[in-house]
Structure 1
């Protein structure tokens, strides 16, 4: 039976003031070493539902935050704050909220960059680091593709169907995203 996620939030802080960081908390609330899953630049916490369900069945606690301006987290008031130092501070705040002395970290793309920075710092509480879709070097082709995607991303959609059609079109290079693929 799938686990039931708990929706939580904590206050992060930037130079401009406080902002709400949302996260999804799966599994036992007092698990020893939670798994922290951090998404990519245009994604959100629920990308990890399948992984979180699997790990929860193994008895693990899984924490999946929404970075500022994504998912259920508030936007930052200063656009210049959307940068690695702010993301690292926000993820550290989420980790502190868990009460865990250490975390096993899973990061995709931007989430991987954040994890690499935090794991490389003195006194880190990252016990294990798993990253995907990122490395210490990002090609100019990849950066151009991401930049074009972000520039063209609509602010909102009038219907769920229009949002699904848009994302299926944009994400088509990543495989079959039709109803029959099981990904909706």
Structure 2
């Protein structure tokens, strides 16, 4: 296994990202995370990024939620951000990412978690929450879901999947900017490119779109169906806040609200002029919703 580690100088002076670096070992790999707010807080807010981003995506939310008195943990998934990157594509699987994330939560012994998830942050976070429900107190989701392959994927997703597998050089920052209603400035695009000095560092980003279950016999389908059995009995508070201009996940909030009991009575929001990367388009607004959601559902 070839492990790549992005040089630290690639992350110097990134706009809006003043956070200190923290690391923990998972499966022999170094996993990075942001840890802001009071460490002694009884409430932990776990912010999970997706494809092809890293914890930089949550830079607008972290200070607001931390200022609310909560401990905010924002990891970089293995293969992304400041975390180690494995060069061989066959190392990455849906199950392996679940195991890495579970090991991360166990290593920090995170409890009473409010899960904040978007994109693959939800595909992983919802699975991990279902499988470790005793550690989670609440969930808020935006532009995500938990596919089992039993429903056909959208045409928009299939186009993205094909693009990701065929383009010779995967333009990370360009992809993120393209998923936003408000196009990103050059220095922010560069910050999304920072973890990837060349194509050899992008294996995880390249593989992720192939790991989304698109058929009933997908390797992850059975485990995701099992997770849904737990989520369909989930009574803990669950809030959706989807962007109204994301073609990839359009309607996913209605599915979550229909199937998950914990969504009932919550102040679900559609974020106007919010694209796929809602953290960029509506980060401050979503952060305020998260603080209100926790405050209204303290037990």
TM-score by length of 2: 0.50
2:156 corresponds to: 141
Residues 94 and 170 (structure 1), Cα distance of their counterparts in 2 relative to 1, 3 Å cut: closer
Residues 170 and 103 (structure 1), Cα distance of their counterparts in 2 relative to 1, 3 Å cut: closer
**How many aligned positions are there?**
169
1:140 is displaced (CA, Å) by 4.5
Unaligned runs of at least 5 residues, structure 1: 156-162
Which residue among 160, 170, 177 is the counterpart of 1:171? 177
Residues 68 and 56 (structure 1), Cα distance of their counterparts in 2 relative to 1, 3 Å cut: same
1:151 is displaced (CA, Å) by 4.2
1:101 corresponds to: 111
Distance 1:72 1:3 in 2: 13
Distance 2:168 2:72 in 1: 29
1:146 is displaced (CA, Å) by 3.8
Counterpart mapping for 1:69-80 below 5 A: 69-76=79-86, 78-80=88-90
CA RMSD of aligned residues (A): 2.9
Residues 139 and 169 (structure 1), Cα distance of their counterparts in 2 relative to 1, 3 Å cut: closer
1:105 is displaced (CA, Å) by 0.7
Counterpart mapping for 1:1-184 below 5 A: 5-13=19-27, 18-76=28-86, 78-121=88-131, 123-137=133-147, 138-149=153-164, 151-152=166-167, 154=169, 167-168=173-174, 171-172=177-178, 174-179=180-185
Residues 150 and 73 (structure 1), Cα distance of their counterparts in 2 relative to 1, 3 Å cut: farther
* SS class of match (1:22): strand
Residues 149 and 73 (structure 1), Cα distance of their counterparts in 2 relative to 1, 3 Å cut: same
Task: Give the number of the structure whose residues are more often strand, by fraction.
Answer: 1
Cα offsets for 1:70-118 (capped at 9, x unmatched): 1011113542232222222222222223333231111111110111111
TM-score by length of 1: 0.77
User: Relative contact order (alpha carbons < 8 A, sep ≥ 6): 1 or 2 greater?
Assistant: 2
